[in-house]
Chain A
Amino acid sequence: MEFNKILVPVTGRPVDDETMRLACQLAKKNKGKIWAVCVIAVKRSLPLDAEIKSETAKAENILDHISTVAEEADYEVETDLLQAREVGPTIVDEAVEREVNLIIMGISYKRRFGQFSLGNVLPYVLRNAPCQVILYHQYTS
């Protein structure tokens, strides 16, 4: 499989680093392009274009960090900060707009009410993605 346009949604969790390294490895073969996106979910109590300084600063730090991770892997990525009501549809829209052929998402083992849960975003992306999706789970002992 050849991937030359890869989208990597990041959230600031430790798994992001490994996910980005994997994306770099996959993109290198074909000199592909990687976009790292961080989505700020804006509550309905605020307008969509509201300036949420704390969240913006946090997201910018996440994207700066992920750029550094990519540089360490000897690769250059393009970063994008997005504001939206819901994260899942935004990732899918971004994938459609950029015509990517792969989305790589890092996941952690989350429990909700004692049960393993993928949350809302991942199932949405898996259902609606216009391309292949790789879920990367980082092993922690």
Chain B
Amino acid sequence: MSTPSAATTSRWRALTHHHLFWPVAVLVALLLVNVPFTPDFFSIKMTDGHLYGSLVSIVLFGSPLILVAVGMTLVIATGGIDLSVGAVVAITGALTCSYISDQADQNALSGVFLAMGIGLVAAVVCGLWNGFLVARMGIQPIIATLIIMVAGRGVAQLITDGQIITINSEPYKLIGGGYWLTLPFSIFVVAVVVAVTVALTRRTALGLLVESVGGNAEASRLVGIRSRRIKIMVYVFCALCAGIAGLMISSNTSAADGNNAGLWIELDAILAVVIGGTSLLGGRFSIGGTVIGALVIQTLTTTIYTIGVPTQTNLVFKAVVVIIVCLLQSPKFRAKVFGAKFGPKSGAASGGSAATEPAKTVTTAEAAPKMEVS
């Protein structure tokens, strides 16, 4: 083998072994699938001072999911899981909308800010409660957060009195449905949250602490990390993200629906985290991967509408995608299917090439989550 070709192989290997390679590859493949069906898929038009286009709407409709998934990533990195985010979305939306609808002037900025503050405080309280149960009481995260998942929707319906509260507030409309600098405002919200999260976890020691707690909580405690405090923090952060997503969803529809707002968003968020390459066992996380994972899910949704696959097959294909992604992440499966020497190490490459193939065959008739994300 001559030197230059060896260099390219090793560079190629380095590329394919990058943890974001396969999520990005799947995303790109999904986006390309759309092109034959809608040739102007990638074009972005300027109308009335706003940018319109499929790419913009994917990010716009995907924003609440990205937010929830980013919060979920940190929780999963500590070895936990948060099932209550959907309920938190509903509670936040319900509280905020019911407060705004009680105002004499729904367009008053002070009232809107206060309402959003109340909603976010409620979300933080939910997060504190989850964190308290998990970190202080030592209850398994899946169970501790199940409590709010079950009771939370009841509380949200209690707040809205079982009705769907509709509001008519211009300033509040901005956060989920408004435009700023020609782009949907929610994209900026997501960008800020993601940037802050990345800065906090990768520029400070926090990310390392979170990973060490996820790797081994007891060992971290023994080396002097306050693992309980870290855990409470991530649950509060996750709930806060869910709260912001709740504001977005209710603002986008100008309504609070205690029953359906954020329904099953926790499952989509966990899925996004898994597609992004964060292990459910904790100890490692990748915010970038999660964002891409969430975009993959939203792109699936959009794809199914563009290429005209019957929408009722959505869930089946989503299930197929989950199964394929999970199987490919399982070292045991890779060893069995691709032979022992393709085990954990080179399995990523061979598993990956198989990943795009099923993904492609799936995407031609692809389908995905429900559209009513926002």
Q: Do A and B bind each other?
A: no
A interface residues, Cβ below 8 angstroms from B: none
B interface residues, Cβ below 8 angstroms from A: none
